[in-house]
């Protein structure tokens, strides 16, 4: 009996030990609106044991501890500690938004707006939405259901998408990745093909409309798009994924993370390859993307983080729009592309883009004290590549010869044969392909200091230093059977016989310097949060021309011309109750003109250098109201942006001489109302909606514009611009969206989105409206709406969490015009357009390990 008691005691001890060794913790992490937070970290306090939430915010893991606490964290939210004692299902763990958890962003606590605190109109898209809705779409198209946003694929080539915000093109929208500005420093443009793989490593993307919350000295007229990449994951592991779609689309890649090691190091890396034939004729593509993050915790107060990413790619383009009649008569319909041909039986892009832009940064985060911290980033970006096009004395005629009718590809073999015959005669190419290159080197330093002056008032200040050199040249891309090409544009080496890769036509550098200071005071007490900020920047330009000036000519390099810009803005948010809040902001800033506003003739002639280029002047104001409850959340805001002295340059030929002029006094007004809402009808059903109504117009005519020569003598007669009350073109002024997300069964969701676009006026050049009788609005394209749908299914593949996603865009194959350029008659017959994509599909699988 005694032995039996001993045996029973041993069994009980072993059983209890086994039970305690298998303490199971589970739950779901959600945000303040009860939306799931995929990728949130759940770690047992004092250990590195933990996991991250799945696509639906759920987590489940076993620990050896019988009691303790877990720390739940997600970027942009306040960490939460929850105790446990034995096996526990925590249920829904709700995290509150906070700026203080954004230290992984290069500019500490400045880049992301915080709900019910930062007084700006904002929309945030998290990683789960990106993964669900992206499919084979372009990265900016994820935002098409956001108020004020108009995103299209432009010509339809891989990465050729564009985005307008409140009617402003991307050159007037600040785009930042991890707090670092990425707009081109010469012209402000953002080329999304450079960031084609960024969606794979984005943890959140935020659109701040209007003044924005960023404190760096970057003037954003339309708004700011902040993209926050994934940093080092706490959990060891990773994932592999694969996707296929229409027109030969294929994508596959992997992500892996070491987790936080005992020595304080952590490493995450991601890579992928994408290729396909392209929806539009002649737009085959192949691209790669890579991402690596290495971080090191140094003591309790310092952290270093190294990040590098890029997306080298090459793709065919459709650069030129066509008339509506051309598409209707074309064999391939809306897929018709005039910019490709057949050479030796293979597709050859006439307009071809190839580029690799990398961004690398080293960030240092220093917690100086409980009240003060300093965030500093050193970064560098190198870009190399360009786009191809036609060249040669007979290019216009030879590239118009097609294999059959006008809607067929260009007969490039015909050009090859002609060039070979010329080569036998010792002559150069009659027509060939050139590449316009835009390489660059960009280095910068961003540093932000923040300190709490008291429990309610904080001071933020920092510096923004950048230096940029753009290298612009044209080179021979494909001789198309010729032995060489003639060129006489280099005064230092005239009458050259060019081979592939040799520079031709032009070669110049643009040097841009930027020095910025910014400061802000933030007040936060009880239900009131407010700020006032100021910034000042100095932009300098210098041009070096290697082709038009002898190496001995001092005019080969211009002087440096500097322009000062500044801005001041302020705002306040007041939480009336736990459900209601109101906010307002106002600001004024002056933005230096771009590179082309200074060097009007694209040369170094002193009479073509506008050393007194006028600053652009922007005034903006906004009012907003927000409502939050467990089931319903919505926002309403009104905005008004006055943009004076927009930079416009033009060239005129008078008596055979070319003259350039910088037009002043061109003003525009952008105003409107925006509404967005989320309604959680049940635990299974979520509805979303959006309505944006804009009124964007040119506000004045310009009278008596006189052209002067370098001796300030009047040239030709004065002319006028008649643009008053004409609509600003190239973006839909009315947009709306409805969305539905329904849980069909556990881990299986069905999503439908409807997007409507109206009041789209064709793009036009105000400079061309010089006749008093030519005051009609530009052509208004037909309104249109498209349905997108997806279904995602989560399950266990052995021990691995797996998600299958199937997505179809433009479910009903709606035919619509997404981009248009106005014609002389301001009607459908004279307009040239690009059609949007018809029905497309994508199926993908991700396995997490």
User: In terms of DSSP bridges, do strands 223-229 and 173-177 run parallel, antiparallel, or are they unpaired?
Assistant: parallel
Read off the pLDDT band of 595 (50, 70, 90): confident
The answer to the question of residue 828 being in a domain is yes
pLDDT mean over 425-429: 96
In a domain, 119, yes or no: no
- Whether the pLDDT of residue 251 is over 80: the answer is yes
Task: Tell me how far apart the alpha carbons of residues 168 and 569 are, in angstroms, rounded to a whole number.
Answer: 19
Distance CA 87, CA 80 (A): 19
Within-domain flag for 368 = yes
The CATH number of the domain holding residue 6 is: 2.60.40.10
* Per-residue pLDDT reduced to its tens digit, 701-755: 988 777 666 555 677 777 888 999 999 999 999 999 999 999 999 889 999 999 9
d(CA 684, CA 667): 49
Half-sphere exposure of 487 (CA within 13 A, CB side): 26
Share of the chain above pLDDT 70, in %: 90
- The count of domains in the chain is 2
- Region 593-598: mean pLDDT is 85
Contacts 24+ apart (CB under 8 A), 139-142: 139/192, 139/195, 139/196, 139/198, 139/199, 140/192, 142/199, 142/205
Most confident segment among 74-88, 266-280, 696-710: 266-280
Rounded mean pLDDT, 162-175:
92
pLDDT digits 0-9 by tens, 646-676:
876 666 666 666 666 667 788 999 999 999 9
Where a domain ends, among 63, 96, 129? 96
What is the C-alpha to C-alpha distance for residues 686 and 491, in angstroms, rounded to an integer? 67
Identify whether the C-beta of residue 776 lies closer than 8 Å to the C-beta of residue 798: no
Whether 92 and 241 share a structural domain: no
Interacting residues of 799 by C-beta distance below 8 A, sequence separation 6+: none
Q: Please state the length of the chain.
A: 849
Query: Does position 98 have pLDDT exceeding 80, yes or no?
Result: no
Q: What is the mean pLDDT of residues 4-11?
A: 44
Q: Give Cα 413 to chain centroid, integer Å.
A: 39
Average pLDDT, the chain: 88
Confidence of residue 143 (pLDDT cuts 50, 70, 90): very high
Report how far residue 178's alpha carbon sits from residue 170's, in angstroms, rounded to the nearest whole number: 18
Q: Residue 454: exposed, middle, or buried by beta-carbon count in 10 A (0-12, 13-18, 19+)? A: exposed
CATH number of the domain at 514, please: 2.40.170.20
Boundary of a domain, candidates 96, 120, 143: 96
The pLDDT value given to residue 242: 96
> For the CA atoms of 575, 579, 585, 591, what is the dihedral angle to 10 degrees?
130
Of 73, 209, 74, 195, nearest in space to 134 by CA: 195
Query: How many Å apart are CA 748 and CA 732, to the nearest integer?
Result: 34
pLDDT exceeds cutoff 60 at 684: yes
Q: What are phi and psi of 554, to 5 degrees?
A: -60, -20
pLDDT band of 110, cuts 50, 70, 90: very low
Task: With CA atoms as reference, report the closest residue to 431 among 401, 393, 403, 405.
Answer: 393
Domain presence at residue 18: yes
Say which residues have a Cβ less than 8 Å from residue 752's Cβ, sequence separation at least 6: 739, 740, 787, 788, 789
pLDDT of residue 234: 53
Start-to-end CA distance of the chain, whole Å, equals: 50
Give the pLDDT band (50/70/90) at residue 593. Answer: confident
Q: What is the pTM of this model?
A: 0.87
Q: Which residue, of 79, 96, 113, is where some domain finishes?
A: 96
Domain residues for 285? Answer: 237-848
DSSP 209-231: ETT-S--SS---SSEEEEEEE--
Determine the pLDDT at residue 178.
Answer: 80
pLDDT in tens, 514-538: 999 999 999 999 999 999 999 999 9
Facing residues of 373 across strands?
A: 367, 450
Beta bridge partners of 257: 237, 268
C-alpha–C-alpha distance, residues 581 and 566, integer Å:
30
**Taking residues 10-15, what's their average pLDDT?**
42
Cβ–Cβ < 8 Å for 506, 487 = no
For residue range 33-61, list pLDDT tens digits in order. 566 777 677 888 877 677 778 756 788 88
* Of the listed ranges 79-83, 199-203, 445-449, the one predicted with least confidence: 199-203
Checking if the pLDDT of 15 tops 50, the result is: no
Tell me the sheet residues that pair with 555: none
Q: What is the secondary structure of 516-544 as a DSSP string?
A: EEEEEEEEEETTEEEEEEEEEEEEEEEEE
């Amino acid at each position: 009996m005694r032995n039996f008691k001993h045996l029973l005691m041993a069994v009980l001890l072993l059983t209890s030990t086994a039970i305690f060794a298998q303490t199971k913790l589970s739950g779901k992490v959600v945000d303040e609106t009860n939306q799931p937070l995929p990728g949130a970290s759940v770690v047992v306090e004092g250990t590195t044991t933990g996991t991250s939430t799945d696509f639906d915010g759920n987590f489940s893991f076993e620990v050896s501890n019988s009691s303790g606490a877990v720390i739940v964290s997600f970027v942009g939210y306040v960490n939460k500690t929850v105790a446990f004692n034995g096996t526990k299902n925590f249920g829904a763990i709700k995290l509150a938004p906070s700026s203080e958890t954004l230290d992984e962003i290069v500019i500490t606590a400045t880049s992301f707006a915080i709900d019910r605190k930062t007084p700006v109109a904002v929309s945030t898209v998290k990683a789960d939405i990106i993964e669900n809705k992206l499919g084979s779409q372009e990265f900016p198209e994820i935002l098409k259901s956001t108020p004020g946003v108009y995103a299209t694929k432009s010509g339809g080539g891989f990465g050729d998408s564009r985005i307008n915000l409140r009617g402003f093109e991307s050159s007037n929208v600040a785009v930042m990745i991890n707090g670092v500005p990425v707009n081109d420093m010469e012209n402000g443009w953002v080329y999304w093909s450079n960031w084609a793989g960024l969606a794979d490593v984005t943890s959140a993307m935020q659109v701040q409309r209007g003044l924005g919350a960023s404190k760096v000295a970057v003037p954003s007229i339309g708004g700011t798009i902040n993209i926050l990449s994934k940093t080092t994951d706490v959990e060891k592991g990773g994932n592999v994924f694969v996707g296929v779609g229409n027109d030969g689309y294929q994508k596959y890649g992997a992500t892996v993370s070491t987790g936080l090691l005992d020595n304080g190091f952590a490493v995450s890396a991601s890579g992928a390859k994408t290729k396909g034939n392209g929806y539009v004729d002649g737009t085959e593509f192949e691209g790669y993307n890579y991402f690596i993050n290495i971080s090191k915790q140094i003591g309790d107060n310092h952290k270093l983080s190294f990040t590098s990413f890029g997306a080298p790619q090459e793709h065919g383009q459709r650069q030129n729009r066509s008339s509506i009649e051309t598409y209707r008569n074309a064999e391939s319909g809306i897929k018709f592309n005039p910019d490709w041909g057949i050479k030796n039986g293979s597709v050859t892009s006439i307009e071809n883009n190839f580029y690799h832009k990398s961004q690398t940064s080293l960030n240092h985060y220093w917690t100086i004290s409980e009240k003060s911290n300093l965030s500093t980033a050193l970064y560098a970006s190198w870009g190399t590549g360009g786009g191809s096009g036609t060249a040669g004395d007979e290019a216009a005629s030879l590239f118009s010869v097609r294999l059959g009718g006008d809607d067929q590809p260009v007969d490039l073999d015909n050009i090859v044969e002609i060039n070979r015959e010329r080569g036998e005669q010792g002559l150069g190419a009659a027509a060939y392909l050139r590449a316009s290159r835009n390489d660059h080197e960009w280095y910068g330093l961003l540093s932000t200091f923040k300190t709490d002056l008291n429990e309610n008032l904080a001071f933020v200040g920092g510096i923004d230093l950048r230096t940029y050199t753009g290298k612009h040249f044209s080179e021979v891309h494909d001789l198309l059977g010729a032995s060489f090409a003639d060129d006489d544009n280099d005064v230092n080496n005239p009458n050259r016989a060019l081979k592939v890769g040799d520079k031709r036509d032009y070669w110049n550098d643009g040097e841009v310097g930027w020095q910025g200071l910014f400061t802000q005071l933030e007040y936060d007490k009880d239900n009131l949060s407010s700020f006032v900020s100021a910034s000042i920047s100095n932009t300098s330009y210098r041009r070096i021309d290697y082709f038009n000036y002898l190496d001995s000519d001092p005019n080969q390099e211009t002087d440096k011309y500097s322009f000062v810009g500044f801005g001041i803005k302020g705002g306040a948010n007041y939480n009336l109750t736990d459900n209601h809040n109101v906010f307002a902001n106002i600001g004024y800033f002056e933005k230096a003109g771009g590179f082309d506003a200074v060097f009007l003739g694209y040369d170094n002639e002193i009479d073509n250098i506008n050393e007194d280029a006028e600053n652009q002047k922007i005034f903006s104001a906004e009012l907003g109201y927000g409502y939050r409850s467990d089931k319903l959340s919505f926002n309403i805001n009104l905005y008004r942006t006055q943009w004076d002295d927009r930079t416009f340059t033009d060239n005129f030929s008078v008596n055979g001489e070319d003259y350039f002029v910088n037009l002043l006094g061109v003003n525009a007004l952008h105003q409107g109302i925006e509404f967005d809402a989320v309604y959680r009808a049940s635990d299974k059903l979520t509805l979303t909606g959006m309505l944006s109504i804009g009124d964007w117009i040119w506000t004045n005519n310009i009278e008596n514009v006189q052209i002067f020569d370098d001796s300030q003598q009047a040239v030709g007669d004065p002319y006028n611009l008649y643009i008053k009350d004409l609509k600003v073109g190239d973006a839909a002024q009315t947009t709306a969206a409805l969305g539905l997300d329904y849980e069909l069964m556990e881990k299986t969701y069905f999503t439908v989105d409807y997007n409507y676009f109206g009041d789209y006026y064709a793009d036009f050049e105000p400079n061309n409206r010089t006749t008093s009788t030519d005051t009609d609005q530009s052509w208004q394209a037909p309104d249109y709406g498209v349905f997108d749908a997806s279904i995602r299914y989560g399950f266990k593949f052995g021990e691995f969490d797996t998600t299958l996603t199937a997505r179809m865009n433009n479910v009903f194959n709606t035919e619509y015009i997404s981009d248009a350029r106005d014609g002389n008659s301001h009607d459908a017959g004279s307009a040239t357009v690009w059609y949007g994509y018809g029905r497309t599909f994508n199926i993908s699988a991700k396995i997490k390990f």
